[in-house]
Structure 1
Amino acid sequence: MCETTDTLSGPRADSDAGSGRLRAVLVALGLLVVGLGASIVVGIVFTVPLLLFGADVQSPTVFLLLAAVGQLAFLVVGLSYVGRYGGVTVRRPSRRDTGYLVGGLVAALIAATGLSVVVTVLGIGPSGSVFDDPITTAPWVALALAGLSIVLVAPAEELLFRGAIQGRLRKSFGPVGAVGGASVIFGSIHLLNYTGSIVGALSGVVIVTVGGAIFGTIYERTGNLLVPIGAHGGYNAVLLTVAFLAS
């Protein structure tokens, strides 16, 4: 009887591990779908009254407000998940945390710059982004987006994609698989941010995915969500400030 039990425990354990990984993937994708769905619904609820009252929904101010409410939806979904299941630590950064924050920020900027040069030389880079027209029309939008990135975008996206999604994947796939999976999911939501060919848009997604992997790695190294939040917010702020100066 003992030998029979040992023989059966292997396949059963493998089956349990497989179903656990499938559940983890489904939960991660479910969080993505819920986050995007909530963002779309909130955007519609916000836009319809503006249309009814004849407001200019293409104005830079409305663009900023729509960006903010969409991120608020991400924040609520992330808070709802981690509030129920936990697993996220936010604490005052230590000296070590600060080192990872600065290192992650610099690494993400170097990676983005290098990859942008590569895809441009190869002629496969995106032709533009959804932020180009608003910033061209009103350059101050870039600075407003930089501030919004620090106070809302980075906290909301890091809570959802690193805290909730990466945290859930970690339970079944370990830290390396969690970082990889969460980064791909994070990159995928930026597909519609780019204009031009699908190849160009995908090249932009690759750049974002690499940045996400860097943020995910420093999160795993520190266990403090404030670290990737700081690196992500700083990364966006630097790029948007450069866009302002270039406009």
Structure 2
Amino acid sequence: MKLGYGQTSERDPGFASGWQALVATYGTAIVAFVVGIVFAYVAATAYAVFVRPPSGTTLLGISLVTLQGAAFPLVAYLYLRWRGLNRSFLRVSWPSISDLAWVVGGYVVAFGLLVAATVALQYFSVETASNQAAKTAQQAPWIIPYLIPLQFLLVGPGEELLFRGIVQGTLREHFGKWSSILLASAAFAPAHILALTGSLQAALASIAVLFVPSIVFGYVYERTGNLAAPILLHGCYNATIFTLMYVAAKYAPQGASGLLGVGFGL
């Protein structure tokens, strides 16, 4: 029995089984991407009609606003309405000193693991896919200073709201903490295939690397019990990669900034 928004019947704790929860949350993530693609197509078409044909940097900005900024929050909100839940389900509040300590720790661990994964890929000569956002930023480094704050304003909040707040939060009800982290990461990493170009093997290698920060984000969420922590961690992680990419594009050898793009997806 569903009640009004913000209320849930004690007789209706959620889905009847873990498989139903898994299908529902993965389906919600797919719907969020479909909605985002539709929003982006409409926005890009309108821009082309009323302004001019959009450039690669303009399309990147449109995708950030329509996907992480609009579609993800909208679908997350509709999911909460559908289940009769309120904001407390997401467990979000102003971060405490302890939360910030976990953010710092998670940041160090995520980058340490990313460096290890990158070294391993190079050692075994494993090809990775190109990230569209990284490629655009590499070709037009001037856009990177504008992309950095968007990691805190759109990307971190949008992706963590959907994949940690909605997906991991729902799966936790049935599978427990560690299983929900892994299952949410299994949705988060492959979802970034839309931003990758290259062979299937290269895409799979890049997706495997994306599991690294995703698991750390999910663990920090469980340890703090505050969605604001992984949001901030995600923003810092992506912003740092963009900063390093900017330095690499300006001063490092050709191709260095492309390798950095393995660590994130948009």
> Which TM-score bucket, shorter chain as reference?
0.7 to 0.9
Contact 2:138 2:245 in 1 (8 A): no
TM-score, with length taken from structure 2: 0.81
Contact 2:57 2:143 in 1 (8 A): yes
Contact 2:64 2:154 in 1 (8 A): no
Contact 2:93 2:226 in 1 (8 A): yes
Instruction: Tell me the residue number matched to 1:98.
Output: 100
| Distance 1:128-1:98 versus aligned 2 partners, 3 A rule | same
Q: Which 5+ residue runs of structure 2 have no aligned equivalent?
A: 1-14, 250-266
In the alignment, the residues of structure 2 paired with residue 67 and residue 94 of structure 1 have an alpha-carbon distance, to the nearest angstrom, of: 28
TM-score, with length taken from structure 1: 0.87
Contact 2:152 2:232 in 1 (8 A): yes
- The alignment partner of 2:237 has SS state of helix
Instruction: Tell me the residue number matched to 2:49.
Output: 52
Instruction: Tell me the residue number matched to 2:119.
Output: 117
Match status 1:156 vs 2:158: yes
How far has the Cα of 1:29 moved from its partner?
A: 1.3
In the alignment, the residues of structure 2 paired with residue 61 and residue 48 of structure 1 have an alpha-carbon distance, to the nearest angstrom, of: 12
How far has the Cα of 1:48 moved from its partner?
A: 1.5
Contact 1:124 1:200 in 2 (8 A): yes
In the alignment, the residues of structure 1 paired with residue 144 and residue 125 of structure 2 have an alpha-carbon distance, to the nearest angstrom, of: 26
> 1:22-101, aligned counterparts within 5 Å?
22-53=19-50, 55-71=52-68, 72-82=70-80, 84-86=84-86, 87-101=89-103
Contact 2:60 2:133 in 1 (8 A): no
| Distance 1:66-1:56 versus aligned 2 partners, 3 A rule | same
How far has the Cα of 1:193 moved from its partner?
A: 2.1
How far has the Cα of 1:128 moved from its partner?
A: 2.2
Post-superposition, which runs of at least 4 consecutive aligned residues in structure 1 deviate over 3 A? none
How far has the Cα of 1:140 moved from its partner?
A: 2.1
Instruction: Tell me the residue number matched to 2:260.
Output: none
In the alignment, the residues of structure 1 paired with residue 38 and residue 129 of structure 2 have an alpha-carbon distance, to the nearest angstrom, of: 29
Contact 2:156 2:234 in 1 (8 A): yes
Deviations 1:29-80 (A, max 9, x none): 1111111111111011111122334623224133212222111211221233
In the alignment, the residues of structure 2 paired with residue 28 and residue 206 of structure 1 have an alpha-carbon distance, to the nearest angstrom, of: 21
Instruction: Tell me the residue number matched to 1:195.
Output: 197
One-letter code aligned to 1:242: L
User: How many aligned positions are there?
Assistant: 231
- The alignment partner of 2:238 has SS state of helix
How far has the Cα of 1:167 moved from its partner?
A: 0.6
Aligned-pair identity in percent equals 32
In the alignment, the residues of structure 1 paired with residue 129 and residue 193 of structure 2 have an alpha-carbon distance, to the nearest angstrom, of: 13
- Higher Cα Rg: structure 1 or 2? 1
In the alignment, the residues of structure 1 paired with residue 40 and residue 136 of structure 2 have an alpha-carbon distance, to the nearest angstrom, of: 17
In the alignment, the residues of structure 1 paired with residue 45 and residue 212 of structure 2 have an alpha-carbon distance, to the nearest angstrom, of: 36
- Root-mean-square deviation (CA, aligned residues, Å) is 1.9
How far has the Cα of 1:92 moved from its partner?
A: 1.9
Mean Cα displacement is larger for which, 202-211 or 135-144? 135-144
In the alignment, the residues of structure 1 paired with residue 41 and residue 159 of structure 2 have an alpha-carbon distance, to the nearest angstrom, of: 20
How far has the Cα of 1:240 moved from its partner?
A: 0.4
Instruction: Tell me the residue number matched to 2:246.
Output: 244
- The alignment partner of 1:189 has SS state of helix
One-letter code aligned to 1:143: P
One-letter code aligned to 2:176: G
How far has the Cα of 1:162 moved from its partner?
A: 0.2
Deviations 1:170-220 (A, max 9, x none): 111111111010011000111232222211111111111121111001101
Contact 2:40 2:62 in 1 (8 A): no
One-letter code aligned to 1:73: A
Q: Which 5+ residue runs of structure 1 have no aligned equivalent?
A: 1-17
